Amino acid sequence: MRFSEPQQYLFLIFHSSFHCLIHLFTLISPFNTFTPHICPLSSSGFKVGVKAPLAELHLTFALTQHDPDGLETLLEKVSAPTSPSYGDYLSLEEVSKLVQPKYEVENEVRGWLKMHDVTNCDSVVTRDFLVCIVSTSQEAPQMIQYTRPVSCPSFHPTVGGVHRFPRRRELTVDHPSVSKEQGGNDSLVGKGKGPTRQHADFHLGVTPAVIRARYNLSSSAVGRHPNSSQAVAQVGCDSIFMGLFGKSFAHLSSVARVVGPDGGLHAGLEASLDIEYVMSTGANVSTWFWSTPGLRKGQEPFLQWLVTLSNMSSLPWVHSISYGDDEDSLSAVYMQRVNREFMKAGLRGLTLLFASGDDGAGCKEMSKERNVFRPSFPASSPFVTTVGGTTFSNPFKVTEEVSDYISGGGFSNVFAQPQYQEEAVKKYLASGSLPPASYYNSRGRAYPDVAALSSNYWVVANLLPIPWVSGTSASTPVFAGILSLVNDNRFQLGLPSLGFINPLLYRLPSLGHDRALFDVTSGCHLGCLDEQTQLQGFCARPGWDPVTGWGTPNYPALLHALSRPLSRQDR
């Protein structure tokens, strides 16, 4: 994403208590990059200075929410299929009543800011964010200085460090091939729970027709309900794509709404991929672009999107997001606050899908003798649905799938394993050979949850057809589009939206819906290049695994499984 005007963004957190922390999460500047550091504070006041002619500094203050623990408890009640409150979602106004800070908190923060001439501030509907704009001077030094206020009895601000926003998932453009890790052994593919139907369709890359053939989406599998909606957190679109690849099914030729700057015909490859495949898979479903100005060199104002969610009462039901960052590069305070924003979305019945990443298990060198796997966030959040990647066993035919060696997956080092996945993960860990236990936290949140094709896509960007585009940025909008079609059917039946789907998703096999997803049972993803793992991370196995989750969508069976009210016996 590009800046339309020079802008800078800063995210701070306020904990209103006797020991209040202002935590600097990120500084985004179009002119320079800031190195993470710890900045000691003086007691002379709050000063901001940035060498940025005619620029504005955007400060986002996250105020302490009321009863954050109650958010998670309530989310479990509305998301767990065994709960009597399943599907009883809240409005934005009802969520606001749960989280909005005490009046004294916001008033005190505004007063402190006013002392330092920061007065151009707006709150959001939920009252737990303040967004302030500070004009910068041309003569100011090329730095940010934070100093402690001389009098503020209820909080003591300190700067905890500078962190990046999650980066975009990188796409690759290459020639289709079968990797050594994937093996390509057709006799091993599809021997798990899913159907093992073999297609003979020849193709030169993944298109909407290939997606529909593989995942059993007929020409009639399109959205019809006026309440159906979906979104991608991206910019831009290329209308030529639907003209080339959307002739066999009903579809919309333009987006319903753009939130933020519109990239138009200057949209990049990432933006084009996201919107083209969410609109062609979730065909005929009203689609929004969610665009936020970003930083060069790959950093993105991810939190700006979350802040906007807290300020809009009407939102798309399904969101596809292809951003992430290394879990260990972000502060725990930042990730916990982002998780609470995910909970707020789930309470409103929204479904958030994130790409699992394109680095396999990831790898971090701890010392010359020791490496560990490196999980990604928000993929590792317990409150989103994470999508991994697969590829065809034969890259030129619509065959069964094997895991894509780039598919991100593993175990969080920060978040505990949620109860909804404990049984599935336990079975995987007991199912066979694994990487050395010192490389991962077997008790952490395990991901991905599901998967879809992630290699060799056709994309139209800036009027130009581009073949063989790969990455979990491709699989995520595909799965999001399919869930949009499920939502559409649920609305026709008078059922609520899917919302936070993981608790239900992990129960499907025990409810007899073991064919709702094609089980991917072959292939491994990347690990560390060392003697212990020899570039191999985890491997796909029958059932859930940390490479492809539960597998890829078998639309008719998945639609049946997710579009029926649960009986008392099922609950």
Q: Which residues are annotated as a binding site?
A: 519-520, 543, 545
Whether the CB-CB separation of 361 and 371 falls below 8 Å is answered with no
Of the residues 274, 300, 327, 449, only one is catalytic, namely 274
Buried b vs exposed e over 138-153: b needs ≥16 C-beta within 10 Å? eebeeebbbbbbeeee
Is 325 tagged catalytic? Answer: no
Query: Coil, strand or helix: which one is 352?
Result: strand
Secondary structure class of 479 (helix, strand, coil): helix
9 by DSSP, 3-state: which?
A: strand
Q: What is the distance, to the nearest Å, from the Cα of residue 148 to the centroid of all Cα atoms in its chain?
A: 35
Give the C-alpha distances (Å, rounded to integers) separating 519 from 194, 353, 403, 514, 550: 5, 19, 10, 9, 6
C-alpha dist (Å) from residue 266 to 222, 263, 270, 490? 28, 5, 12, 36
Nearest C-alpha neighbor of 411 from the set 451, 370, 361, 452: 361
* Distance between CA atoms of residues 549 and 164, nearest Å: 28
Catalytic residue among 123, 403, 473, 497: 473
Residues 132/61, Cβ–Cβ less than 8 Å: yes
Q: Is 473 a catalytic residue?
A: yes
Q: Which residues are annotated as a binding site for Ca(2+)?
A: 519-520, 543, 545
Question: For residues 481 and 419, is the Cβ–Cβ distance under 8 A?
Answer: no
270 is catalytic: yes
Q: Is the C-alpha dihedral spanning 488, 561, 231, 219 positive or negative?
A: negative
For 539, phi then psi, to 5°, come to -125, 150
Element (H, E) at 298: none
In order, the DSSP letters of 184-250 are T-TTTTT-SSS-------B-SSB-HHHHHHHTT--TT-S---TT-EEEESS----THHHHHH-TTS-
**Helices 332-347 & 302-309 angle (0-180, nearest 10):** 40
Among 348, 299, 295, which Cα is nearest to 319's?
348
Question: Of all residues in the chain, what percent are helix, strand and coil, respectively (each to 5)?
Answer: 25, 20, 55
Q: How many residues does the chain have?
A: 571
Cα dihedral 318, 319, 320, 323, rounded to 10, equals: -160
Which residues are designated catalytic? Answer: 270, 274, 473
